[in-house]
């Protein structure tokens, strides 16, 4: 099967209104810029987006807020985004806040065929409301459910033509988890090499999790907080 | 930085021992990194997927693919490692982080912590705080003792939604240091120029005083 696509609009063309999309990235670091842009251009509506953050006002997933394409957001931190605030306060946007480690594990579990798991995170907090609990060794744990996406949008550094992926530095973050948890996983990279050119030892995500690969160009890679050492 | 906060940071760094793996929260806790003794081998964890945070980069050498949990550009130290977010929180939840130093909005006398949400104000989210407080081997909270209206942030019970229940091991404020034990909350240190009477007056929580109270 040829996994390499040449057009982002084609690669995302079967994403339907109302579907659940898991999107990699942490802040604006390691986000699938080109796939988000294509989804923005296509105008797919009523999406449930699962991602640690929701971009900034006009960058990353923030672009999908501008066009009101997101119905529900599942995230751990959404603090950098005025449009998000506005739409939430207006009741236009549903939000499920999820502790970051729980979110990561819910996505990992989704990809790993585990429907739920217990965690101590959130016990005794508003996050526990309505959730089943269980005692292990006299300690209380919450039942958290896995997340599976109709699609996952992933950014990696390099791919081979089989979809084996290598990430770069902290741009890895949620991307390997998202890649596992998408029924169809669409990956954009900065370089595509022939199968066999990546060492089997260096591969972070095996290609079995990846259905579509695209080469992205002219990455913006916006920095949210530029901090430098004092000279 | 105001002196009050510098005192908190300088006291907080004493919690860090050579060889520890430490997670520092966003804001004031991040400043603790600058005070770690240079001869210490301490690895700082960033929950987005790095163990071994280094200093901020030299101007022009910043890398958009290398940030900390506060989304600031950083560098790495020798011996650092990158990993995904699930592995990162396996480290945190699994008890592999020796110490977490976090900011606080309110701490209660039973060790409850609230630091993520003010009802009626804009929602931001808890990020990794709820995982850190249940998972780190030791949780130290640093915060001002009173809010801008002069009200105690050290409470009988938290009025804000909790981040975690009975999770704080030690609280460091600009006035004093408290420990949370099976016997309740204990005043263990007061800062120079601060009296025990002042601490009592500015603390809503009930606490006992350690017999050999250290007057710094």
- Domains of chain A by range and CATH? 8-116+146-215 (3.40.1080.10)
- Per-residue pLDDT reduced to its tens digit, B139-165: 999 999 999 999 999 999 999 999 999
Give the residue-averaged pLDDT of A19-48: 98
Angstrom CA distances, B49 to A62, A132, B34, B60, B69, stand at: 23, 30, 21, 23, 9
Which residues have CB under 8 Å from A190's CB, separation 6+?
A157, A158, A215, A216, A219
Other beta carbons less than 10 A from residue B158's beta carbon: 21
User: How far is the C-alpha of B152 from the C-alpha of A188, rounded, in Å?
Assistant: 51
The pLDDT assigned to B4 comes to 85
Hey, CA dihedral for A33, A34, A40, A44, is it positive or negative? negative
Average pLDDT over residues B45-71: 97
Q: Is the per-residue pLDDT at A29 higher than 60?
A: yes
Chain A residues close to B115, C-beta within 8 Å? none
Distance from CA of B26 to the nearest CA of A (A): 13
Which pLDDT belongs to residue B214?
63
pLDDT of residue B1: 62
Band (pLDDT 50/70/90 cuts) for residue A231 is: low
Under the banding of pLDDT at 50, 70 and 90, the label for residue A220 is very high
Chain A residues closer than 8 Å to B67 by CB: 26-27, 29, 170, 223-225
Instruction: Describe the strand order of the beta sheet including A139-145 as a list of residue ranges.
Output: A116-119, A139-145, A133-136
Does the active-site annotation cover B47?
yes
Closest Cβ–Cβ partner in B67, B74, B117 for A27: B67
- Residues in contact with A34: Cβ distance below 8 Å, sequence separation at least 6, in sequence order: A8, A188, A214, A216
The pLDDT of B67-85, averaged and rounded, is: 97
What are the pLDDT digits (tens) for A150-188? Answer: 999 999 999 999 999 999 999 999 999 999 999 999 999
Do B154 and B203 meet the contact criterion of CB atoms below 8 Å apart? Answer: yes
The 10s digit of each residue's pLDDT in B109-138 is 999 999 999 988 888 999 999 999 999 999
> Does the pLDDT of residue B215 top 80, yes or no?
no
- The tens digit of pLDDT for each residue in B99-110 reads 999 999 999 999
- pLDDT above 80 for B216: no
DSSP B16-62: --TT-EEEE-SSHHHHGGGGS-TT---EEEETTTEEEE-PPPPTT--
pLDDT by residue (tens digit) across A57-77?
A: 889 999 999 999 999 999 999
Residue pair A102/A121 in contact (Cβ under 8 Å)? The answer is yes
The model carries a pTM of 0.97
Q: How far apart are CA A32 and CA A25, in angstroms?
A: 7
Characterise B120 by phi-psi region: left (phi > 0), alpha (psi -120 to 50), beta (else).
Answer: left
pLDDT confidence bin for A230, thresholds 50/70/90: confident
Q: Residues A204-222: what's their mean pLDDT?
A: 97
Residue A80 has pLDDT above 90, yes or no: no
Please name the residue of chain B whose CA is at the shortest distance from the CA of residue A223: B64
**Mean pLDDT of all residues in chain B?**
95
Q: Which of the residues B47, B106, B109, B189 is marked catalytic?
A: B47
- pLDDT computed for residue B127 by the predictor: 97
Q: What is the pLDDT of residues A106-152, one digit of tens each?
A: 999 999 999 999 999 999 999 999 999 999 999 999 999 999 999 99
* CA–CA gap between residue A80 and residue A84 (Å, rounded): 9
Residue B86: pLDDT over 80: yes
**Backbone angle region of A190, left / alpha / beta, with phi > 0 → left and psi within -120 to 50 → alpha:** alpha
The neighbour count for residue B202, using CB atoms within 10 Å, is 19
Mean pLDDT (whole number) for B168-195: 97
CATH number for the domain running over B3-215: 3.40.1080.10
pLDDT at B123: 83
Is B96 in the A-facing interface, judged by CB distances under 8 Å? no
Shortest Cα–Cα distance, B206 to chain A (Å): 21
pLDDT above 90 for B23 = yes
Residue among A85, A126, A227 minimizing CB distance to B72:
A227
Average confidence score pLDDT of chain A: 96
């Amino acid at each position: 099967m040829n996994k390499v696509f040449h057009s982002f609009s084609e690669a995302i063309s079967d994403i339907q209104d109302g579907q659940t999309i898991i999107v990699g990235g942490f802040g604006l670091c390691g986000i699938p810029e080109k796939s988000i842009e294509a989804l923005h251009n296509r105008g797919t509506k009523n999406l449930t987006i699962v991602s640690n953050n929701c971009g900034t006002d006009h960058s990353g997933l923030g672009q999908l807020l501008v066009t009101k394409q997101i119905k529900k957001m599942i995230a751990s931190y959404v603090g950098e985004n005025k449009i998000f605030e506005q739409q939430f306060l207006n009741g236009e946007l549903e939000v499920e806040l999820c502790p970051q480690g729980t979110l990561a594990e819910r996505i990992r579990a989704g990809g790993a065929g585990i429907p739920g798991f217990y965690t101590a995170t959130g016990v005794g907090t508003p996050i526990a409301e309505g959730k089943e609990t269980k005692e292990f060794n006299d300690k209380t744990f919450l039942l958290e459910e896995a997340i599976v996406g109709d699609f996952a949008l992933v950014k990696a550094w390099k791919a081979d033509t089989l979809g084996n992926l290598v990430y770069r530095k902290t741009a890895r973050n949620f991307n390997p988890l998202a890649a596992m948890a998408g029924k169809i996983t669409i990956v954009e990279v900065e370089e595509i090499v022939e199968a066999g050119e990546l060492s089997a030892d260096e591969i972070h995500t095996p290609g079995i999790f990846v259905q579509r690969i695209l080469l992205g160009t002219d990455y913006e890679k916006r920095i949210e907080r530029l901090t430098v050492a004092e000279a | 930085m105001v002196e009050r906060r510098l005192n908190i940071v300088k006291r907080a760094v004493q919690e860090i021992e050579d060889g520890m793996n430490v997670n520092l929260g966003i804001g004031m806790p991040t400043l603790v990194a600058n005070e770690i003794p240079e001869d210490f081998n301490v690895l700082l964890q960033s929950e987005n997927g790095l163990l071994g945070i280094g200093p901020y980069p030299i101007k022009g050498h910043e890398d958009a693919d290398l940030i900390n949990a506060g989304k600031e550009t950083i560098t790495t130290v020798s011996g650092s490692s990158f990993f995904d977010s699930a592995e990162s929180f396996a480290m945190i939840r699994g008890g592999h982080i020796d110490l977490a130093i976090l900011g606080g909005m309110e701490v209660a006398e039973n060790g409850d912590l609230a630091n993520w949400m003010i009802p009626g104000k804009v929602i931001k989210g808890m990020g990794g705080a709820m995982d850190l407080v249940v998972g780190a081997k030791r949780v130290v909270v640093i915060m001002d003792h009173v809010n801008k209206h002069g009200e105690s942030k050290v409470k009988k019970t938290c009025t804000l939604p909790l981040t975690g229940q009975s999770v704080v091991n030690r609280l460091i404020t600009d006035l004093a240091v408290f420990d949370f034990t099976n016997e309740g909350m204990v005043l263990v240190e007061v800062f120079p120029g601060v009296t025990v009477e002042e601490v009592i007056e500015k603390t809503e929580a009930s606490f006992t005083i350690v017999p050999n109270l250290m007057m710094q």
